[in-house]
Amino acid sequence: MNKYTEDDLKKELETQEYEYGFYSELDSETFPKGLNESIIRAISKEKEEPKWMTEWRLDAFKIWQEMEEPEWANVHYKKPDFQAISYYSAPKKKEKLDSLDQVDAELLKMYAKLGISVNEQKRMNNVAMDIVVDSVSVATTFKKTLAEKGILFMPISEAIQEHPELVKKYLGTIVPKKDNFYAALNSAVFTDGSFCYIPKGVHCPMELSTYFRINEGGTGQFERTLLIADKGSYVSYLEGCTAPSRDENQLHAAVVELIALDDAEIKYSTVQNWYPGNSEGKGGVFNFVTKRALCEKNAKVSWTQVETGSAVTWKYPSCILKGDNSVGEFYSIAVTNNFQQADTGTKMIHLGKNTKSTIISKGVSAGKSQNSYRGLVQIGARAQNARNFTQCDSLLMGNECGAHTFPYIECKNNSAQLEHEATTSKIGEDQLFYCNQRGIDTEKAIALIVNGFSKEVLNKLPMEFAVEARKLLEISLEGSVG
């Protein structure tokens, strides 16, 4: 038997194909390339938005024009040409759909390929789904069941029409228009996304989920998610993404805003699997995302992310722990391969008393990839008894990749307790040897070790997603995870 070595694994990793790289022939409507005021007006008109929304977008566009693209991240890429992107692309619909049966057959086929059958999902899993293709939301399931509980779960474009008071009140409060370059861009051109409102004291009976898919070429995806958990409510939210294999770099610049009012709890899980580019580093999605949560008194927000895709990732899901006793958590696995670059981490801003945060970040780099953790833990002067625990571990495979950590710790209160630890290592030869001794072949042993390495994070994912995440790890590091 040929011995399976790390070199073999490396080779497999390099040649591993992106499974979701197909392109579906959907009849779609795409705006001409370029960005200017009239495009924004056109998007707004297409969405039949009220005037305040149009104004809001134009204002964001003005801010964006004055901003410069950030360069501080530890990633290198050719900057996207913002005039060469089409800012709106939608699968063409003849009329508004009443039920899922009327969804385009091609679309359903595409979802079957992705492993998400909308119908099946409806029957089997207790998951409500919102599906976003290119720029617009195409299907939302379980709307009725949720409505009985008073839960609003719908595309944000609908929410702007139906619940303008809620959208107006919260949109842009957590991630302001001028927050950063991509957030401003998103505010100007976002076309769809999910909106969710959990009323007071309601425990959302099922997982809410959004599936994002970039299908058309030459487009960018700019979705906006707004999730409000009112006092004492609970919700678990899942997000997944894929894109076809293309030689060009596609831009994905999303904004996610979470608001957890007093005693509420939000669990937000992401499995990000945008097309990472081919083994020469050509193509792939630029994933520049702003995600932020606000925690009021006793609220809890937990971010869990599995990052396997995208050519370049730039993403820092954050928690503003404003209320006393609020809790923020961040669990992340970032796997990079070939020429992928990831600069990801979190920010925990402690403002209230007795606030707690936990950060567990695991990075696996293979091929020629660069994987960075960048995090900020900030303890404000009034944050008495704040507590933070941070752990970031990196695993390196091969000597052409890199793992970096850039933690910022700022403490202005003397009652705070902070711990930070980070390690970097490769799979130990002694660990492998130990497994081999016990009759476990090297491939399985590597699988075992990588699995164990990421277990702390995988365990935090909801059941349905844990399976998918495990599968994704397999794809990203095929041969290593069994």
Partner 1 sequence: MELKEKLITSFFELENKGTIDLDSNIHQIRSKAFTDFETKGFPTKKNEEWKYTSLKSVLNQDYTVFPKGENVLELKEVRKYFIHEIDSYKIVFIDGIYSSFLSETTHDGMDICLMSSALKKPKYKIIIDHYFNTIANKNESITSLNTAFSNQGAYIHIPKNTIVPKPIQIIHFATKNDENLLLQPRNLIVVDENSHVQIIERHQSLSDEVVLSNSVTEIFANKKAIIDYYKIQNDTKNASLIDQTFVQQKDHSVVSVNTFSFGGKLTRNLLEFHQNGERIESNLNGITFINNKQHVDNHTLVKHNKPNCVSNELYKGIYADSATGVFNGKVIVDKIAQKTNAFQQNNNILIGKKASINSKPQLEIFADDVKCSHGCTIGQLDEMALFYMQQRGISKQEATGLLLYAFGNDVVEKIKIPELKSRITKLIAQKLGVKLGF
Contacts with partner 1, residue ranges (CB under 8 A): 72, 381, 394, 396-426
The b/e string for 134-158 (b: 16+ C-beta within 10 A; e otherwise) is bbbbbbbbbeeebeeeebbbbbbbb
Tell the smallest beta-carbon distance from residue 8 to partner 1 (Å): 16
CA distances from 400 to 6, 78, 97, 281 (A): 14, 21, 50, 14
How far is Cα 334 from Cα 248, in angstroms, rounded to an integer?
Answer: 23
**CB 138 within 8 Å of CB 103:** yes
How far is Cα 176 from Cα 444, in angstroms, rounded to an integer?
Answer: 47
Tell the smallest beta-carbon distance from residue 313 to partner 1 (Å): 18
**CB 334 within 8 Å of CB 361:** yes
Query: Which of residues 252 and 353 has its CB atom nearest to partner 1 in the complex?
Result: 353
Beta strands in 75-142 (DSSP E): 89-91, 127-133, 136-140
Query: Which of residues 221 and 394 has its CB atom nearest to partner 1 in the complex?
Result: 394
Query: Which of residues 185 and 397 has its CB atom nearest to partner 1 in the complex?
Result: 397
Nearest to 400 by CA among 326, 316, 338, 470: 338
How far is Cα 57 from Cα 54, in angstroms, rounded to an integer?
Answer: 5
Query: Which of residues 17 and 400 has its CB atom nearest to partner 1 in the complex?
Result: 400
Query: Which of residues 180 and 273 has its CB atom nearest to partner 1 in the complex?
Result: 180
Tell the smallest beta-carbon distance from residue 82 to partner 1 (Å): 26
**CB 226 within 8 Å of CB 257:** yes
How far is Cα 18 from Cα 153, in angstroms, rounded to an integer?
Answer: 31
Tell the smallest beta-carbon distance from residue 398 to partner 1 (Å): 6
Tell the smallest beta-carbon distance from residue 160 to partner 1 (Å): 39
Tell the smallest beta-carbon distance from residue 424 to partner 1 (Å): 4
Query: Which of residues 291 and 374 has its CB atom nearest to partner 1 in the complex?
Result: 374
How far is Cα 473 from Cα 481, in angstroms, rounded to an integer?
Answer: 7
Query: Which of residues 283 and 375 has its CB atom nearest to partner 1 in the complex?
Result: 375
Tell the smallest beta-carbon distance from residue 365 to partner 1 (Å): 9
